[in-house]
Structure 1
Amino acid sequence: MKKLLVFFSVGLFVFPCLESCKKFMNPDEEIPSYIYVPACTFSADTINQGTRIQKISDVWVFKGNDFLGAFPIGAKIPVLAEGNTEIKMRAGIKNYGIGDLRAIYPITQFYDVNVDLKRGEVVNMTPDFSYFSGITFIKLESFSSPGTFLTQSLSSDTMLVSYTGPEAMPGQGACAYVHLDSTYQVFEALSGFPHPYVQGAITYLEINYKSNVDIAIAVSNGINDVRTVCRLKASATWNKMYAPLTEALNAPSTLSNFFFVIHAVAANNNADIYFDNIKIIKQ
């Protein structure tokens, strides 16, 4: 009798478990659909918004309003849904070029589409991102026209020149070029005129560059308040950097007007610095 009771009790526990396992292992409930993002594009009005060249590293993905996660470009993204599904994506960047500082690029808008998903199958998507309408381009500089918004500072013993040689960025026309050596060791330039700033406004710098020395980026009141934003690490190939300026512009006190500053010093008595497509953008 005792054996019978034990068997009966165990049976009460095992049978519900088996039923739960069947539900858990149900392939119709557990197999996701997939989205593959091999690349992305960027749309911009090149006259009023500058170059379309981008370095978007990630996509931040939403199913409707539900956040699924941030995924690197080239990832296969699982989605627990099927049929007609709203998929939204935000462009993801590395602030200051640092992998640990990945973030949504806040001045770009959602890519929003409806996709027919099938469980176990992969849908390819190439999102096309763009800036929000209504943002302000404080400064656009392509160095393709005579003159530049940058002027040599009193600390600089050399100046930038317009360059169209083989080291220029492909398809972009002229760029800025600076050469430093044992005689001319310091380059520093800043905005020729101050840029207005409103406290708390999200503000970003975009810049393309190639250099065999690090380049410092700062903002200043034009007198004695110089606030370092970031350092562009030396790069043998053309690179793009996204740098938020908001924190520097607000701390320790807000600059109502600011100057953009770029600075470099020769290393081993030789430096070749190229930069292009400067954008200062405010939301």
Structure 2
Amino acid sequence: MFRSLLLLLPVLWFTSCPPDLEVPPALVTVEGFELSVDNGQGAATTDITEVWAFADGEFLGVFPLPARIPVFRLGQVTLRLEAGIRQDGRSVTPDIYPFYTPFVRTLELSSNATVNLGRLPIRYRPETVFGFVEGFEAGTPRVFTDRLAGNGELSVQTEVVRSGAAAGAISLADSNRLVELATFRTYGGLNELPINVWLEVDYLSDAPAVFGVVGEQGGLPVRVFDPGFLPRAEWTKIYFNLSSVVGAADVNEVRIALSALLGPELERGTVYLDNLKLLYLPAR
């Protein structure tokens, strides 16, 4: 009897494996994502670095772009592919960007077969609230107009641009090494739970800068700054998650602020900014 059980164990082992794992997987390839925008949503600049993959609701993994995604489910499978970004520009904080729509498609998958999806079309989710879109184009109002420190400003120029015909610039020099600016408008209710507030920024800069919020509580000023960027010689996009900053400020109305500081090794420098977008979700 015991000998019969030993002989039966390998049979039980192999027959207990899920059928789809007994054969090679299908392969789905993704080249990247293509963002389309509507009027009032600014330029379609992105920095999507990964794809988060789900098959029939089951998480498959996070894959760097361009991606080769093995799928062990065969036959008719519904794939959901989400755009992945680096929160605050840090490689240690990959995340699904909550404001882009997922790409969803039902495919007929076969073992060892490859399905090339190319570049996946995405948009901003319809429930996304655009607090502001600052592209510095002619005929549009400026956003960061209130000076908090220094005597500089975020001026419009047309020589160094990321997209469109214009971009913003903050000039720094020995006599003006620190410039802090805030939005002219206040934003209320951003601290209502769950907090989900992000700032998209395209930048090229000789100096570091940080972003945050300013407000008042009981007649006293409140200032919380955290995410920022280091100098870069080429245009770079960053998705800043301001949720923790807004939560730490814990005031009902805030203004979005930025602070740029020229390093001691430089006599002068310029911070170029373009396509600044404040995004959040409406309170539930």
Report if TM-score (shorter chain) is over 0.5: yes
Q: Distance in 2 between matches of 1:9 and 1:73?
A: 53
2:32 corresponds in structure 1 to 39
Paired letter, 1:211: S
Which of residues 100, 116, 133 is equivalent to 1:140? 133
Q: Does 1:215 align with 2:209?
A: yes
Q: What is the SS of the residue equivalent to 1:81?
A: coil
Q: Distance in 2 between matches of 1:262 and 1:252?
A: 15
2:221 corresponds in structure 1 to 224
Q: Distance in 1 between matches of 2:176 and 2:169?
A: 14
Q: C-alpha displacement at 1:208, in angstroms?
A: 0.6
Paired letter, 2:6: F
Q: CA RMSD in A?
A: 2.4
Paired letter, 1:226: R
1:78 corresponds in structure 2 to 70
Q: What is the SS of the residue equivalent to 1:99?
A: coil
Paired letter, 1:231: G
Q: Distance in 1 between matches of 2:178 and 2:110?
A: 59
Q: C-alpha displacement at 1:110, in angstroms?
A: 2.0
After superposition, the Cα gap between the structure-2 partners of 1:15 and 1:250, relative to the gap in structure 1 and judged at 3 Å, is closer
Q: Distance in 2 between matches of 1:43 and 1:74?
A: 19
Q: C-alpha displacement at 1:66, in angstroms?
A: 1.2
Larger Cα-atom Rg: 1
1:51 corresponds in structure 2 to 43
Unmatched runs of 5 consecutive residues or more in structure 2: none
Which of residues 92, 99, 117 is equivalent to 2:91? 99
Q: Distance in 2 between matches of 1:164 and 1:12?
A: 80
After superposition, the Cα gap between the structure-2 partners of 1:280 and 1:99, relative to the gap in structure 1 and judged at 3 Å, is same
Q: Distance in 2 between matches of 1:15 and 1:127?
A: 48
Q: C-alpha displacement at 1:151, in angstroms?
A: 1.5
Q: Distance in 2 between matches of 1:252 and 1:179?
A: 29
User: Equivalent residues in 2 for 1:181-200 (5 A)?
Assistant: 181-198=173-190, 199-200=192-193
Q: What is the SS of the residue equivalent to 1:17?
A: helix
Which of residues 22, 28, 32 is equivalent to 1:29? 22
Q: Distance in 1 between matches of 2:13 and 2:246?
A: 57
Q: Is the 8 A contact 1:157 1:185 kept in 2?
A: no
Which of residues 250, 259, 264 is equivalent to 2:247? 250
Query: Aligned pairs, how many?
Result: 272
Paired letter, 1:98: R
Unmatched runs of 5 consecutive residues or more in structure 1: 1-7
Which of residues 230, 233, 243 is equivalent to 1:233? 230
Q: Distance in 2 between matches of 1:156 and 1:262?
A: 12
Q: C-alpha displacement at 1:183, in angstroms?
A: 2.0
After superposition, the Cα gap between the structure-2 partners of 1:266 and 1:23, relative to the gap in structure 1 and judged at 3 Å, is same
Structure with the bigger percentage of strand: 2
After superposition, the Cα gap between the structure-2 partners of 1:279 and 1:27, relative to the gap in structure 1 and judged at 3 Å, is closer
Per the normalisation by structure 1, the TM-score is: 0.87
Q: Distance in 1 between matches of 2:5 and 2:60?
A: 38
Q: What is the SS of the residue equivalent to 2:107?
A: strand
Q: Distance in 2 between matches of 1:27 and 1:71?
A: 21
Q: C-alpha displacement at 1:215, in angstroms?
A: 0.8
Q: What is the SS of the residue equivalent to 1:221?
A: strand
Q: Distance in 1 between matches of 2:20 and 2:33?
A: 32
Which of residues 256, 272, 275 is equivalent to 1:274? 272
